[in-house]
Amino acid sequence: MAEWLTLCASAELPPGQREVFGVNGRWIAVFNVGGVIYAIEDLCSHDGNVLAFDFEDRPSKLIGYEIECPRHGARFDIRDGRVTRRPAEVNVTAFEARIADGSVQIRI
Ligand code: FES
């Protein structure tokens, strides 16, 4: 059964910020948009590489709730992992996320 896992203190991920965490052998990109936390696997399904930041650690574009891959421009909705723009065709995994007891948590 999936359990809530604490990633960091909520103060470490204020609105407008993102961070990537290693969890159980996967990289999880966690976003705070207006005080609400969203989490997706940090993996563009087009090439199987990172999504939330580029290779030089610059944040990828976040347009509304869509994260844009820095390589070929595919977009994914961070609320559910759904592909919203090609060339990617496969959704990425999204995780339940929340702020509870002053911590950022995901269910995994
Ligand atoms: S590697 Fe992400 S769109 Fe091509």
Residues in the chain: 108
Residues lining ligand 1, Cβ inside 6 A = 44, 46-47, 69, 71-74, 87-88
Residue 6: what are its φ and ψ, rounded to 5°?
-80, 130
Number of domains the chain is built from: 1
Q: What is the position in ligand 1's atom list of the atom closest to the CA of 69? A: 2
CATH number for position 95 = 2.102.10.10
pLDDT in tens, 50-100: 999 999 999 999 999 999 999 999 999 999 999 999 999 999 999 999 999
pLDDT in tens, 2-22: 799 999 999 999 999 999 999
- Name the residue range of residue 61's domain: 4-107
Q: What is the position in ligand 1's atom list of the atom closest to the CA of 45? A: 2
Amino acid 2: pLDDT:
78
What is the rounded CA–CA span in Å between residue 107 and residue 28? Answer: 11
41: left (phi over 0), alpha (psi -120 to 50) or beta: beta
C-alpha 100 – ligand 1 centre gap (Å) = 33
Amino acid 1: pLDDT:
63
